[in-house]
Structure 1
Amino acid sequence: MCSTVTPHNDLATGHSQSHAQPLASHERKRFRGCVQAPKRRLHPTPGGSMKKLLATTSMALALTLAACSSPASPGSQATPGAAQGETKKVTMWMYPVIADSAKSQAFWGQAEKDFEAANAGIDLVIEQQPWDNRDEKLATAIASGKGPDLVVLGPDQLPQYQASGGLASLKKAYEGQEDKFLKSAVEAATVDGDVYAVPIYHTITTTVYNKKAFDAAGVTELPTTWDQVKAAAPKLAAQGVSIMDYSGDAKMTLNLSFYPLLWQAGGSVFAEDGRSVAFNSPEGKETLQFLVDLQKVGGLPADAATKGNKVEGGGLSTGKTAMGYALVKPEADIMIKALGEDAVVVGEPLKNKEQVAFGLPGLLTRTSISKDEASAATVAKFFSSAEFAPTLSKASGYFSARQDVKPDSADKVGAKFAEALAFAKAGEINSKARQVMASLQPHIQSALQGAKTVDAALADAEAEANAVLKG
Structure 2
Amino acid sequence: MKHTRIAAAAAAAFMLAAGAASAATEVVIQYPYGELFNETHKQIVAEFARKHPDIKVTMRAPYESYEEGTQKVLREAITNQMPDITFQGLNRLRVLVDRGIAVGLGKYIKAEKDFEAEGFHQAMFDIGTMKNEVYGVPFAISLPVAYYNLDLVRKAGGNPDKLPTSWDEVFALSARIDALGGDINGMSYTWNITGNWLFQAPVFSQGGSMLNADETKVAFDGPEGQWAMKQLARMVTEGKMPDYREADLRAAFAAGKTGIHFTSTSDLAKITGMIGGKFDLKTAKFPDVKPGVGRLPAGGNLAVILSKDPARQKAAWEVLKFWTGPEGAAIVAKTTGYMPPNKKANEVYLKDFYEKNPNNYTAVTQLPLLTKWYAFPGENGLKITDVIKDHMQSIVNGSRAKEPLVVLKEMAADVQALLPRKTN
Normalising by the residue count of structure 1, what TM-score does the alignment of the two structures yield? 0.66
Match among 140, 162, 165 for residue 97 of structure 2: 162
- Alpha-carbon offset, residue 232 of structure 1: 4.1
In 1: Cα distance, 2:78 partner to 2:399 partner = 49
In 2: Cα distance, 1:96 partner to 1:391 partner = 17
1:300 and 2:240 matched = yes
Structure 1 pair 307/371, CA: closer, same or farther in 2 (3 Å)? closer
SS in 1 for 2:139: strand
Name the amino acid aligned to 2:285: E
Cross-structure match for 1:438: 386
In 1: Cα distance, 2:72 partner to 2:232 partner = 40
Name the amino acid aligned to 2:376: N
SS in 2 for 1:93: strand
In 2: Cα distance, 1:274 partner to 1:259 partner = 16
Q: Cα deviation per residue 1:303-361 (whole Å; 9 max; x = unaligned)?
A: 34x65452455256334433435452045415743642xx3211223233266555434
Q: Cα deviation per residue 1:407-451 (whole Å; 9 max; x = unaligned)?
A: 434444334455455544552112534322322233334345253
Q: CA contact under 8 A between 1:153 and 1:364: conserved in structure 2?
A: yes
Name the amino acid aligned to 1:212: D
In 1: Cα distance, 2:75 partner to 2:189 partner = 38
Cross-structure match for 1:351: 288
In 2: Cα distance, 1:261 partner to 1:310 partner = 22
Structure 1 pair 141/124, CA: closer, same or farther in 2 (3 Å)? farther
In 2: Cα distance, 1:103 partner to 1:463 partner = 43
- Once the two structures are overlaid, the 10-residue window that deviates more, 419-428 or 156-165, is 419-428
Structure 1 pair 234/365, CA: closer, same or farther in 2 (3 Å)? closer
In 2: Cα distance, 1:392 partner to 1:322 partner = 25
Q: CA contact under 8 A between 2:289 and 2:295: conserved in structure 1?
A: no
Name the amino acid aligned to 1:129: R
In 2: Cα distance, 1:162 partner to 1:206 partner = 30
Structure 1 pair 136/269, CA: closer, same or farther in 2 (3 Å)? closer
Cross-structure match for 1:467: 417
Q: CA contact under 8 A between 1:112 and 1:125: conserved in structure 2?
A: no
Gaps of 5+ in 1: 1-25, 32-86, 118-122
> More helix per residue: 1 or 2?
2
In 1: Cα distance, 2:245 partner to 2:314 partner = 49
- Alpha-carbon offset, residue 191 of structure 1: 0.5
In 1: Cα distance, 2:294 partner to 2:30 partner = 32
In 2: Cα distance, 1:101 partner to 1:229 partner = 31
Name the amino acid aligned to 1:173: I
Q: CA contact under 8 A between 1:115 and 1:382: conserved in structure 2?
A: no
Structure 1 pair 89/261, CA: closer, same or farther in 2 (3 Å)? same
Gaps of 5+ in 2: 1-16
Structure 1 pair 254/377, CA: closer, same or farther in 2 (3 Å)? closer
In 2: Cα distance, 1:193 partner to 1:203 partner = 24
- Alpha-carbon offset, residue 196 of structure 1: 1.5
Q: Cα deviation per residue 1:365-424 (whole Å; 9 max; x = unaligned)?
A: 233614367655444333322133223544566442213323434444334455455544
Alignment of 1:451-462 (within 5 A): 451=400, 453-462=403-412
Cross-structure match for 2:230: 289
Cross-structure match for 2:8: none
Match among 43, 46, 50 for residue 114 of structure 1: 50
| CA root-mean-square deviation | 3.9
Match among 267, 274, 278 for residue 219 of structure 2: 278
In 2: Cα distance, 1:350 partner to 1:413 partner = 16
Cross-structure match for 1:405: 345
Paired residues in the alignment total 379
Instruction: State the identity %.
Output: 19
Normalising by the residue count of structure 2, what TM-score does the alignment of the two structures yield? 0.73
In 2: Cα distance, 1:109 partner to 1:402 partner = 18
Cross-structure match for 2:58: 127
